Structure 1
Amino acid sequence: MNHRIVVLDGYTLNPGDLSWEGFSALGDLKVYDRTEAKDILSRIGDADIVITNKTPLTRETIEKAPAIRYIGVLATGYNVVDVQAAKEKGIPVCNIPTYGTDAVAQFAFAMLLEITNHVAHHSDEVKKGRWTASPDFCFWDTPLMELLGKTIGIIGFGRIGQATGRIAKAFGMEVLAYDSYQVPNADATYVSLDELYAKSDVIALHCPLFSETEGIINKESIAKMKDGVIILNNSRGPLIVEQDLADALNSGKVYAAGLDVVSSEPIKGDNPLLKAKNCIITPHISWAPKESRTRLMGIAVDNLKGFLEGKPVHVVNQ
């Protein structure tokens, strides 16, 4: 059988620096950079293999595209696909469970180091001539903070949380962890959420978005934290009640926040965090180093190969 493969939104994974050859070797391939909702069905057409990243595949779409035999998601999260509707039609949905662990942990610390040292700001000021005109041999505009001896509390101590913990240890930080599943011999101290809130100088979110974690950072939990705490989130935006965090940043209860995700992406112009004090916001790029995207592409191709060989892997709707 000559398979027809369509990629509905390939641009963010591959803006031109990777190759689609792995997929094209498996069938007739059509790649779209982006697909608007009105075009989803027509672009799927008679394709039996559909690959998506963030383009939604609803129950209605799945039922109106009878040729679909396989859905591949170019991400770990798969909430864009109605997995139950796919299951009812015998269509496996396969995701990419692990590809950017170290990249995401690295980015969490990139945000933290920018908060503690403000490297970009001071470099900009030097280039504006301030150092040249300075009467002193140095200057700084913000408090500079050493991480040695500080405590980081990591909510969600899976692969990414553990990778962040290893980096924190290298900086001489104490690592506290909260997770419903405790890893044996973990290089961290497991504590309750309340203890983590009370003792942490930095809190990093690396937990999945479930009903019980949605809004886990809110005015009540922030009230339990140290004054001047730093909050990092490059997991999922809805883990944070954004108005509550903005209020805490503006009052100084939270010293700073580093966020690579927000509740609605792209970020809306009225998001209160855009005008909050000491808030770094980046456009969901923790996952995006070329190395991790190359790994993602390879796993996505292997997922499809497994399906075509009758041995599907990483199926989320079995």
Structure 2
Amino acid sequence: MGYKVAVVGATGNVGREMLSILSERGFPADEVVALASRRSQGTEVSFGDKTLKVKPLDQYDFAGTDICLMSAGGEISKEWSPKIAAAGCVVIDNSSAWRYDPDVPLIVPEVNADAISGFTKKNIIANPNCSTAQLVVALKPLHDHAKIKRIVVSTYQSVSGAGKEGMDELFQQSRAVFVADPVERKKFTKRIAFNVIPHIDVFMEDGSTKEEWKVMVETKKMLDPKIKVTCTAVRVPVFIGHSEAVNIEFENEITADEAREILRQAPGCLVIDKHEDGGYITPYESAGEDATYISRIREDQTLENGLNIWIVADNLRKGAALNTVQIAELLINRGLLKQRQAA
């Protein structure tokens, strides 16, 4: 007997991707329910070769539902996740609402799978920020081998990280430039078409943005609290796929060749690193793919034990929907979730 799964935020970019990935991976679900706000009631969304009609979240009874994949934003998650969890349904949340709660595990299965057992405290599991997820997948095997002391991250984040509105704005502004129409700005703080914006999320007192703070705090929580992290997060005119240039300082010696071989063997990683024209991955090529790609692996001659790497992944998949489904799979594979319907 399979599980009953609810997807909250099923009409959004990530919610639709969750439904697609559940089907692609043959998730053991007897029933999948698509939920969203009342204004989306009756909207049709795809689930494999089936079509689901969206039901309103505030009218749905979670009794008998085993897993809730939540992708409806932080405020909705803060309100609804505890209610859903109290009904006995495990919530896997894609927002930032629960990531920093010490009683909620923050999980990337390739990185800290054992931490998932802590979900029983609140019946909630958090999915990390999209840029952090791909980062720690690449860093974990290197940290295990040579112990990371410090990382300097520069992100190049696609507009899909800002939702459908971000993608629409890039499209509309690009079209406006080509036909000489006025360029209108709504979602982003400056024009995004043919431009880059060194500003994602709100500014904090120290001059960092919340996005940069997330990368720091989440990396420490999942990988090692002793690692020093600094980040500059930049929005770029790319529809799907986040890229990161990462400088890493290690405690122990590691060569580029060693790192390349370690990453080739690491779960979730795919090394594309030829020292020739086109011998690397760009975000365009990562779109629709599950892997975290690593390229441009080279030694930093300014550090005693330093490397530079380039990391690219589909932010809607590994950065959000895929990782959420992998967490659900982890719950089942480790026998941590008992089917309430069967019970």
Asked whether the two chains share a fold, i.e. TM above 0.5, the reply is no
Which structure has more strand as a fraction of its residues? 2
Structure with more relative contact order (C-alpha pairs < 8 Å, separation 6 or more):
2
**Normalization by structure 2: what TM-score?**
0.34
Return the index of the structure with the highest Cα Rg.
1
**Normalization by structure 1: what TM-score?**
0.36
